[in-house]
Chains A and B, each alone.
Chain A
Amino acid sequence: MTMDVNYPPETPEEAAATGTLAARIALKQRAGGVVVPVMTALLAFLIGGFVVLATGHNPLLAYRDIFNGAGLNWVFHPTTNVANTAAYNLSQTLLQTTTLILCGLAVAFAFRCGMFNIGGQGQYFIGLYVANWLGYDFAGMNPVPHILLAVGAATLAGALWAGIAGFLKATVGAHEVISTIMLNWIAIWIGEWLFGDGGPLQNAANKTVPISNDVASSAQLPVFWGQKELQGLHVGFFVALAALVVFWVILSRTTLGYEVRAVGFNPDAAAYGGINVKKNLFRAMAISGAFAGLAGALDMLGYLYHFGQSDIPVSSVGFLGIAVALLGRNTAVGTGLGALLFGALLFGTTHGLSSNVIQPELAGNLTYIIQGLIVLFVGADVLILYVWNTRRRLRPRARARAKEAAA
């Protein structure tokens, strides 16, 4: 077969051999640079705005209130005093952002190895459970080793949980999308059992409430902005920022990252290069799970302190991580920004919106509408690129036609 380069490819990647679904999406995404994610987000907000409009409210006012509700207006009057509403709101937004960064990285890392980790939610739960268990059971330990123990073990547990999917993929070829979804359900039902009546992690003092014990104070993360009682921002925020750096360093400055990327782009070429593909599938999945498990640990030790049966079905940060990673194009910077966007949306829509700017029932759901739209448009990324390129291709033709008509 020959490679004829008589005409320039429509996209730089057009001629590239395409591999897995995840690799293909990643490829198309990079072809779009930063334009497409920004367009994707704007389009999602635009359509979300129509939804607000349809309920008879002014979308601009609604978005303004979400912006303020998320504390993003803080930048106009920066202060560290959380008595200030904007500052308090921002600290809450960043609290959400912390979790979302890590859940986003959990998806992004697997993506870079050509896998789609839909199991962030389950891995997050496992991290949460382990952190709760160790945070309660080892009460009275010196705080530093106690926190390190709980965080470390929870991270490892998340890694092992995701590693199951990686192992199945590497050994029997079970598709990671299916197995991670299944593992999510297993994690959910483990939680139901752990916190349910008579469950091993159920509150020892009150045997009738399906809720866990509180994490001992020795395992609680220090709060650096705001007050612990008022759900202040804990030091986990810096851990998440560090995780972004770690993610970048692993991928671009280590041989491990080199292998992951080679396998993600082209497993055949990686194998030819002497890279053990199966080992990398397992390893990348485990590292993904570590990020999600870490997210669960930081949430548990940072501000939740306890968890109940009824909290399980409500939690969806793991899934939001998918949108964060997709919007952030599986890069460190992109994931950070995507997490901030969704953190702001999550917190901004859940409070402070008056019923004359948005239907109260709609407020919280607007986040999910926008999340859904973004996932949809990221899928349609390819479509957006196609339209973009067709336009570019058609323009000279239209010009030629116009010339003809004139002649």
Chain B
Amino acid sequence: MAEEIVLEMRSVRKEFPGVLANDDVDLDVRRGEVHALLGENGAGKSTLMNILYGLYHPDAGEILVHGKPVAFASARDAIQAGIGMVHQHFMLIPVMTVAENIVLGMEPVRDGVLLDERAAEARVRELSGRFGLVVDPASLVSAITVGQEQRVEILKALFRGADVLILDEPTAVLTPQEAHELFDIIRSLKADGKSIIFISHKLNEVLEIADRITVLRRGKKIETVPREGATEASLARAMVGREVLLRVEKTPAQPGDVLLAVEDLHVHDDRGIEKVRGVSFQVRAGEIVGIAGVDGNGQTELVDAITGLRKPTSGRIEVAGREVHQATARRMLDAGVGHIPEDRQRRGLVLEFTIAEDIALHDYAKAPNARWGWLFPTRLVGRAARLIREFDVRGGGPLTRAGGLSGGNQQKVVVAREISRDPRVLVAAQPTRGLDVGAIEYLHRRIVAERDEGRAVLLVSLELDEILSLSDRILVIYEGEIAGEHAGAASEEEIGLEMLGGKERSAA
């Protein structure tokens, strides 16, 4: 039987001033398939989908829905043609209920003008039951989790009659568990005959859920392949355009002296809730210790405490054998702790600063950058120019604003700054979050290289794969406590169980 094609894009081209975002791109989507759109940041995935959703107008090419050419002037036209899109950033009204958000704009009406809340809730319940999209229609959006918000967005699209659902990087905001649940939902949507376009740059996800995969690179379509026969390596090659080392190559660790020691650390979050509850561990020179855990189990607070950004309520932190008292960010920096923060845009960089200024963020007041409070901008620029070359930062020079760089290059600026200070301890929190394959490869190699230089590396990541492939030793954090420690080879299942507090539960 010939597969029914519900949607087709032919020779789509879109040019922005200076950027050819889509160049002669073809895409066809079959009924009841999950079609993954894979590509690095900047490959043109979002542009293509924004064209499909009527937000951009293509410069050339055509869109066919059920074989008929269509022209979308706005998202409204696209919705009417049965296309729904769930953006990366949700667009819900927090003070309204789930049901109200879903029916917004096409509310069932009672007595001519009043919103029929019961009817709305009933319809939402019916929809969510059909696809396993569990969410309480009556609860306020402000009270539900991110994963549930995403379900609400999906329900919103289904409520408007979407047959083709575009999911833009849907797992980026989810925990691994939520991602699994999302995949179940996608499967049930598929079984119902819906088609899903799944945008991602994560290879393992795509291989797990997609039926066919279209790879974009620099605005061009490289290939469309069925999942069968595709491998992570083949997809990565298509995405990046060269061989990519997905496995990190490293020699066994040769741990030296203890450079970072944390003892019975207790840390509260901003709301005064104890998030780190008596954590103790050590990191030695020349080893990478990975901290695995589901988001929100105290990782952020732990890193903040070690880097002096948050005062612990009790406990000791020693750097290179010396206890740091009354730790402030300044003292920790001076003690030799380097920090790649989990949010480079919020914390790691002043986006409005030039690269030269950002590179000096820790040392702006020290010679040779400054003397007696007098700043020497030319010296900042000189140092930045050197590091830009050394760390291969692309997209600008020392006087380029950091905010104008791509995510990967911004991260390189952060890494260049931290490593050029020659820290004894390097704390890397989510170092590859939001980066594409090429940049991840670079960062992973760099982190291993720094380990081999004799630094003590503490790696905190929500990506279990990253922890497994980089770490010499793994600590699992669960509800602010170390739930398990693994040296050498540990199975993913075992760690995954500990991440969910499995040990505690089975012991109880």
Contact = CB atoms under 8 A, between A and B. Distances in A.
Contacts of B345: 3, 16-17
A7 interface: yes
Contacts of A270: 350
Contacts of A254: 370, 373-375
Contact of B403 (A2, A4, A16, A258): A16
A272 interface: yes
B377 A2 contact: no
Nearest to B333: A274
Given A27-B352, A258-B375, A400-B57, A8 B403 contact: no
Nearest to A249: B374
A277 B227 CA distance: 52
Interface stretch (B45-53, B100-108, B179-187, B441-449): B45-53
A78 interface: no
B80 interface: no
Given A15-B403, A274-B330, A6 B348 contact: no
A1 interface: yes
Contact of A265 (B43, B88, B351, B433): B351
B328 to A, nearest CB: 8
A2 B50 CA distance: 17
A3 B377 CA distance: 30
A12 B18 CA distance: 14
Nearest to B219: A6
B309 A271 contact: yes
Contacts of B50: 7
B351 A6 contact: no
A273 B362 contact: yes
Nearest to B365: A255
A268 interface: yes
Nearest to B369: A255
A258 B351 contact: no
Interface in B409-442: 433-434
A254 B330 CA distance: 19
Contacts of B309: 271-272
A256 B373 contact: yes
A262 interface: yes
B334 to A, nearest CB: 8
Tell me whether chain B's interface is mostly helix, strand or loop, or mixed. Answer: loop
Interface in B150-207: 169, 172-173, 201
Interface string B356-379: 010011101100001001110100
A308 interface: no
Interface string B331-359: 00100000101000111111111000100
Contacts of A273: 329, 350, 361-362, 364
A311 interface: no
A266 interface: yes
A404 B71 CA distance: 10
Find the residue from A4, A266, A401 having the highest chain B CB count within 10 A. A4
B129 interface: no
Nearest to A401: B57
B17 A266 contact: no
Given A8-B17, A16-B403, A2 B201 contact: yes
Contacts of B365: 255, 258
Interface in B370-423: 370, 373-375, 377, 401, 403-404, 406-407
Contacts of B361: 262, 269, 272-274
B11 interface: no
A137 interface: no
A4 B401 contact: no
Nearest to B45: A6
A256 B364 CA distance: 10
A397 B16 CA distance: 11
Given A2-B88, A269-B361, A262 B353 contact: yes
A6 B47 contact: yes
A1 B357 contact: no
Contacts of A271: 309, 329
A4 B370 contact: no
Interface string A241-272: 00000000000111111110110011011111
A7 B46 CA distance: 8
A280 to B, nearest CB: 12
A265 B329 CA distance: 19
B2 interface: no
B41 A2 contact: yes
Contacts of B19: 7-8
A8 B434 contact: no
A265 B370 CA distance: 21
Nearest to B341: A272
Contacts of A259: 364
Interface string A157-184: 0000000000000000000000000000
A266 B307 CA distance: 18
A255 B362 CA distance: 11
A5 interface: yes
Contacts of B339: 272
A17 B16 contact: no
A392 B227 CA distance: 41
A268 B347 contact: yes
Nearest to B360: A258
A15 B362 CA distance: 24
Contacts of A16: 345, 351-352, 403
Contacts of A268: 346-347
B32 interface: no
B59 interface: yes
Interface string A1-26: 11111111000110111000000000
A1 B21 contact: no
B44 interface: yes
A265 B350 contact: yes
B118 to A, nearest CB: 37
Contacts of A12: 401, 403-404
B42 interface: yes
A5 B403 contact: no
B407 A2 contact: yes
A147 to B, nearest CB: 27
A1 B16 contact: no
Contacts of B404: 12
Contacts of A276: 328, 330
Contact of A1 (B44, B45, B172, B373): B172
Given A257-B375, A274-B330, A262 B350 contact: yes
B42 A2 contact: no
When A and B form their complex, which 8 residue pairs have the shortest distance between CB atoms, in order from nearest? A273-B361, A6-B46, A2-B434, A3-B407, A274-B330, A255-B365, A265-B352, A6-B47
16 contacts: A3-B41, A4-B169, A5-B42, A6-B46, A8-B18, A17-B345, A27-B352, A252-B377, A258-B364, A265-B350, A266-B346, A266-B350, A271-B329, A273-B362, A276-B330, A400-B57
Given A13-B352, A274-B329, 20 more contacts: A3-B407, A4-B41, A4-B45, A4-B46, A4-B88, A5-B41, A5-B407, A6-B21, A6-B47, A7-B47, A8-B17, A12-B401, A13-B403, A17-B351, A253-B375, A255-B364, A255-B370, A257-B375, A265-B352, A272-B361
Interface of A: 1-8, 12-13, 15-17, 27, 30, 252-259, 261-262, 265-266, 268-274, 276, 396-397, 400-401, 404
